[in-house]
Chains A and B, each alone.
Chain A
């Protein structure tokens, strides 16, 4: 299987690559359009700021390319947020593939730490992506922005209020948490993604 991890100026692509290696797969980290287009699976990682991530995608003309992909694509964290219409982080226009908006966490009573950092549950799991993953499994999150719940939500989580943990439209999947750092549950979800048709 050819797996491409999109290389742009956002984040810890190395960890995603290592996670795939632990699962017995090798992946190329690349910004080459043909290599990405021809891959069987594409992983779109992201750590850091949504605006600078989007700028970096545009510089490499990867924004247009990603929209045209027809194989399974997995956006992780900021990668997931960029699949959406818009992010409140620096008023960033996203790729608009998934019809959701990304908003900043606000803890009104100041009783929730922001960013959310640590292990939280996923529930209402409804996708082959979660085969053999139990309801309320814990996965690892680090984020200050979240995608609302919509018809594209295929898993929910709750921090301050319920929001999208995982979203999907057609061949595009986005996970807010870090599959590559989420122990056995993360490994299982990555494997399920690789097994998607």
Chain B
């Protein structure tokens, strides 16, 4: 039976790991390759690296990092941040990344999703969506790391993206991110139960129960978290043991 995945996310700035709290106030949390090795040994099912300073001159640093990661870890990983062309993708995949995540650039030019999926397969295209629930009760798509609001509903964009060739959705709730009050169950569940591709829930994990909840109640395929892992508030072996004991299908 296919297992639910636990995915630590490492935000990368200038080759180092950082984590934004509510997308601000970044703090250094260590060397990405060392962290990645620790996580893979601890039983992380996959890793996500988001380059939050993806300017053109920093691209080379990112490619070098991908190469080091691919040499050092034996689990799959996704790289994202500022990807806007097939050339960007090709470079990252060639050096050993398994998937890429696209966000703002794909929203602005949706054909990007199809271009990547045609060239490399939909399995390697992760569409990242930053979403926020507004006062009208609807979940909207935000761009540019959560700074720019759009009038597009998250479910509409997600459906369109899957039609264009996205193979997976990484859904981050801005309302929940950094709160440690749990994942956004409602929107995660809506996407997971509507779409034909896997959904990774992100934002809000604070306790092991939150992971159980997002798998059981929201039917998420994977759950992602960052700082709680980086600061060892939750450790992966303990988390996976808890989930297993609670009858969630988990790789131990």
Contact A14 B251 (CB under 8 A): no
Contact A118 B167 (CB under 8 A): no
**Number of cross-chain contacts by CB at 8 Å:** 87
- Closest B residue to A184 by beta carbon equals B74
Q: Which of chain B's residues have a CB closer than 8 A to the CB of A117?
A: 123, 167-168, 198, 221
Q: Which of chain B's residues have a CB closer than 8 A to the CB of A142?
A: 76, 98, 123
Contact B3 A120 (CB under 8 A): yes
Mostly helix, strand, loop or mixed at chain A's interface?
mixed
Mostly helix, strand, loop or mixed at chain B's interface?
loop
Count of B residues near A, CB < 8 Å?
A: 32
Contact B76 A178 (CB under 8 A): yes
Contact A180 B74 (CB under 8 A): yes
- Closest A residue to B95 by beta carbon equals A14
Interface residues in A176-192 by Cβ distance below 8 A to B read 178, 180-184, 186-187
Contact A118 B222 (CB under 8 A): yes
Contact A14 B96 (CB under 8 A): yes
Interface residues in A113-135 by Cβ distance below 8 A to B read 113-121
Complex Cα distance, B167 from A142, in Å, reads 10
User: Which of A15-23, A55-63, A163-171 is the interface stretch?
Assistant: A15-23
Contact A19 B74 (CB under 8 A): yes
A8 in contact (CB, < 8 A)? no
Q: Which of chain B's residues have a CB closer than 8 A to the CB of A49?
A: 121
B75 in contact (CB, < 8 A)? yes
B151 in contact (CB, < 8 A)? no
A12 in contact (CB, < 8 A)? yes
Tell me whether A181 and B74 are in contact in the complex, defined as CB-CB below 8 angstroms, given that A117-B123, A159-B2 are known contacts: yes
B202 in contact (CB, < 8 A)? no
Offer 5 A-B interface pairs, CB within 8 angstroms, sorted by A: A115-B123, A119-B251, A121-B1, A159-B2, A182-B75
B residues sitting closer than 8 Å to A (CB atoms) are 1-3, 5, 40, 45-46, 70-72, 74-76, 93-96, 98, 120-124, 167-168, 195-198, 221-222, 251
